[in-house]
Structure 1
Amino acid sequence: MFDPVKPLRVLVSEGSSTSAREAITILGLSGHHVEVCDPSAHCLARFSRFVRKFHRCPGLRSDPAGYLAFVEQLLARGRFDVLLPTHEQGFLFARMRERLEGRVGLALPSFESYRAVHSKAGFSRLLDRLKLPEPPTRIVNSASELRDAVRFPVVVKTSIGTASRGIWFVRNADDLEIALHDLGAGDAFAGEVLVQDLIAGTTEKAQSVFCRGMLIGFHAYRQIAAGVGGGEAIKQSVGRPQVRAHLEKIGAHLGWHGGLSVDFIVPDDGTAPLLIDCNPRLVEPVNAYRAGVDLVGLLLRVSQGETPGVMPDSREGVLTHLAMQALLGCASRGGTRGDIVRECGRVFSGSGPYAGSSEELTPVRLDWLSAVPLMMTAAFLLASPQSAIKLARGGFGDHLLDLASIRRIESDEFG
């Protein structure tokens, strides 16, 4: 791992996502000065000893111009070395990159490249152009087109969506009607909808850091146990050279600069991995850190204008877990209070499936304040196990974008 010569002053773009919370742990363990801005006074980042200062800001979704002005004011008076976009703030920063460059270290590609992979439809079209593997996919713009495109079983996805939202697994006519009802409740078809064949296999994820089109850091992991909403409760690092090669091709084509992550399916029939989604950022980087690849540290170096050498592959077989996801997953699958208590016992004792695994999201032994959201989650679930889905959905906060805010940022009048 990279051992910094001096601590850096880092402004993290939000504090609500699991990715931001994990990046903060890595930054803190590396000795950096960390400050966070977020519209929520009770975001995950508030419960970390590594955060030196919290700035409550306007919401990215409700007021992207106000959020940008707030960040610019912080940069003007804060003397930050690096601005670290840990979620969809990168879309805004890429759009306004020329205004930010020279004022702070920032690793982002051109707005055109960022936009090409930010939407699921754009990423699917890119894969088609580059002749990279994905499940059979149709892009539709209306309910009638969706009905015509469905060949059961399929996955239906809105083009804009994050944290496993805007996804429906459609196995029969009843599932299709539910998806159509949900899609019709919003403006989903205005942003395009994808219909992908449902492939039997295991969903895995890969993360990378690029420096001006060159891949310099890579890591992949698979899900060992599921949490809630498609998230991972337990992960294990894996080697995926084919996926690394696909990412190299994507990054070179786009001239990518910064973090880039993909989801992919390893089919049960033993055929090659299929790419299914892209996130133009790092996603939950602690498993990579524990496996010997500090992607956050690498991203800081790229943000400061360095050209680091290519990092060696991460170690395979490294286990990590997210206790909050484990408890939410247990409750969401119909777990009783007794089941939740037993799951708590296994998590805290490191027994059963958690043997040999380390905590990613709330590392209490390293950061005692992180016990607060973990204990609150356990208390809520013990009081009402049925509240798991509601708690998970609460993560869709004002730090995320929707179609309306994306259109505002893309408009010629913005900024």
Structure 2
Amino acid sequence: MIDARKPLRVLVSEGSSTSGREAVTILGAAGHHVEVCDPSRWCLARYSRLVRKFHHCPPLRSDPAGFLRFVERLLATRRFDVLLPTHEQGFLFARAAARLKPHVGLALPDFSAYRAVHGKAGFSRLLDQLGLPQPPTHIVRSAGELREAVRYPSVVKTSVGTASRGIWFVRDASDLNLALYDLESAGDFAGEVLVQDLITGTTEKAQSVFCRGTLVGFHAYRQIAAGVGGGEAIKESVSRPAIRNYLETIGAHLGWHGALSVDVMMPLDSATPLLIDCNPRLVEPGNAHRAGTDLVDLLLRVSLDETPAPLAESRAGVRTHLAMQALLGSASRDGTRRDIIRECGRIAAGEGPYRDSTEELTPVQLDWLSAVPLAMTAALMLVSPQLAASLARGGFGAHLLDRASIAAIESEGFC
């Protein structure tokens, strides 16, 4: 058995997401040999001195079979100890696990378990089955059903979507008509659409690592300030035993193996956390790492068939931030150039909400190349703050799945 405490050769499945970029930082700082494949030659991970080699690969979204063949060739021609799926590539790898696992360490559950939580509709049904709390939810498949199910205010979500794609906040008839137009134009009623009551409260996230159905690592954080698209710009670690229990229930039921994360709403009028989304992966593990819970290292160990002892609880009150998200968020909220310059100053000086906070996405002191995308983001926002919204929409990259690629991977003859 390979010792996960020694430097490993790790292939990261993409380099465009914030989660993938943070995993690269944690892996590289620990001394591991990190290589990344991505369909974009200018993905975030390209701007890191911690990446030993970059592999330009076919796009997962339009060519999942080509992407899989590319990864298999890499595994056959270059030695890797662990294949680390940091985003939706896990769906493909779980489907093709029998082809991949003989050649590399890989921590993923059975494909049936992965499918159960990959889509929002499936996750909602699982919560009902397990008796776990979520906002009042309806699953619809037509415009007429949506009109009947919606009550103001609501959140409308496509079953497939990530990075805040496919979400509409519906507070009145005008919002509903806009959501219906977007859904019908995109053909989203070919799949399932969720309608949930809009809950007033704060957003939190929790992430975990499982070893054959047993939870071995857990971390939770709350949003202090939002970035563009609702993502976290500033976050702070929290202790959430109730959410840990929710995840333990889900993981044990599914026999989960690998990483599992959930989005949670903490209602203002209730002490019961509500589960609102699930991601079968780690989501931005930098805050957990800073709070003393190295979920990336734990995932490596599980990938190599170790059975690690459960980690101690993270330290609460540890604050981290993503400067790029903070600048984009400031610009997207009708920020002026003066607002953006002021935000840059507060980030650089560690003032206001950034006091005692650590940068987790672009750690310039550790990885000077990460200054490039940060500086480019600041420059673009100063040229035109209105670019923030279009940059956020551009987050739906070729490294992500859509309905067509999901159907292709699920098809009988794919593997």
8 Å CA contact retained: 2:285, 2:296: yes
Shift of 1:103: 0.4
Structure 2 residue matching 1:260: 3-state secondary structure: strand
Counterpart position of 1:87? 87
Counterpart position of 2:64? 64
Paired amino acid for 2:401: L
Counterpart position of 1:187? 187
Deviation track 1:307-347 (CA, whole Å, cap 9, x = no partner) reads: 00000000000000000000000000011111111100111
Counterpart position of 2:350? 350
State how far apart, in whole Å, the 2-side matches of 1:93 and 1:67 are: 10
Counterpart position of 2:265? 265
Counterpart position of 1:242? 242
8 Å CA contact retained: 1:154, 1:170: yes
Counterpart position of 2:112? 112
Counterpart position of 1:133? 133
Paired amino acid for 1:106: L
Paired amino acid for 1:140: V
State how far apart, in whole Å, the 2-side matches of 1:392 and 1:358 are: 23
> How many percent of aligned residue pairs carry the same amino acid?
75
Counterpart position of 1:17? 17
Counterpart position of 1:382? 382
Counterpart position of 2:73? 73
State how far apart, in whole Å, the 2-side matches of 1:315 and 1:254 are: 28
Alignment CA distance shift 1:199-1:154 (3 Å): same
Give matches, 1:153-168, under 5 Å. 153-168=153-168
TM-score where L is the length of structure 2: 0.99
Deviation track 1:102-154 (CA, whole Å, cap 9, x = no partner) reads: 20000000000000000000000000000000000000000000000011111
Paired amino acid for 2:276: I
Counterpart position of 2:219? 219
1:304 aligns with 2:300: no
Shift of 1:384: 0.6
Structure 2 residue matching 1:123: 3-state secondary structure: helix
State how far apart, in whole Å, the 2-side matches of 1:106 and 1:405 are: 22
Counterpart position of 1:412? 412
Counterpart position of 1:279? 279
Paired amino acid for 2:154: V
State how far apart, in whole Å, the 2-side matches of 1:61 and 1:402 are: 6
Deviation track 1:165-189 (CA, whole Å, cap 9, x = no partner) reads: 1000101100000100000111211
State how far apart, in whole Å, the 2-side matches of 1:5 and 1:68 are: 28
State how far apart, in whole Å, the 2-side matches of 1:187 and 1:212 are: 38
Structure 1 residue matching 2:75: 3-state secondary structure: helix
8 Å CA contact retained: 2:4, 2:300: no
Give matches, 1:357-372, under 5 Å. 357-372=357-372
State how far apart, in whole Å, the 1-side matches of 2:191 and 2:35 are: 34
Counterpart position of 2:52? 52
State how far apart, in whole Å, the 1-side matches of 2:112 and 2:311 are: 27
Counterpart position of 1:317? 317
Structure 2 residue matching 1:262: 3-state secondary structure: strand
Shift of 1:408: 0.3
8 Å CA contact retained: 2:137, 2:194: yes
State how far apart, in whole Å, the 1-side matches of 2:170 and 2:85 are: 34
8 Å CA contact retained: 1:141, 1:193: yes
Counterpart position of 1:341? 341
Deviation track 1:188-232 (CA, whole Å, cap 9, x = no partner) reads: 112200000111111100000000000000000000011100101
Shift of 1:271: 2.7
8 Å CA contact retained: 1:8, 1:33: yes
Structure 1 residue matching 2:169: 3-state secondary structure: strand
Paired amino acid for 1:24: V
Give matches, 1:394-405, under 5 Å. 394-405=394-405
State how far apart, in whole Å, the 1-side matches of 2:104 and 2:89 are: 15
Gaps of 5+ in 2: none
State how far apart, in whole Å, the 2-side matches of 1:271 and 1:45 are: 39
Structure 2 residue matching 1:58: 3-state secondary structure: coil
Shift of 1:414: 1.1
Paired amino acid for 2:315: R
State how far apart, in whole Å, the 2-side matches of 1:210 and 1:407 are: 27
State how far apart, in whole Å, the 1-side matches of 2:235 and 2:5 are: 31
Structure 2 residue matching 1:271: 3-state secondary structure: coil
8 Å CA contact retained: 2:4, 2:304: no
Deviation track 1:280-301 (CA, whole Å, cap 9, x = no partner) reads: 0000000000000000000000
Give structure 1 regions of 4+ aligned residues with deviation exceeding 4 angstroms.
none
8 Å CA contact retained: 1:64, 1:405: yes
State how far apart, in whole Å, the 2-side matches of 1:87 and 1:114 are: 13
Shift of 1:4: 5.1
Shift of 1:270: 2.8
State how far apart, in whole Å, the 2-side matches of 1:152 and 1:414 are: 42
Shift of 1:5: 3.2
Q: Aligned residues, how many?
A: 413
State how far apart, in whole Å, the 2-side matches of 1:275 and 1:25 are: 29
State how far apart, in whole Å, the 2-side matches of 1:207 and 1:133 are: 17
Counterpart position of 2:150? 150
Give matches, 1:20-35, under 5 Å. 20-35=20-35
State how far apart, in whole Å, the 2-side matches of 1:413 and 1:256 are: 25
Cα RMSD (Å) of the superposition?
Answer: 0.8
8 Å CA contact retained: 1:4, 1:30: no
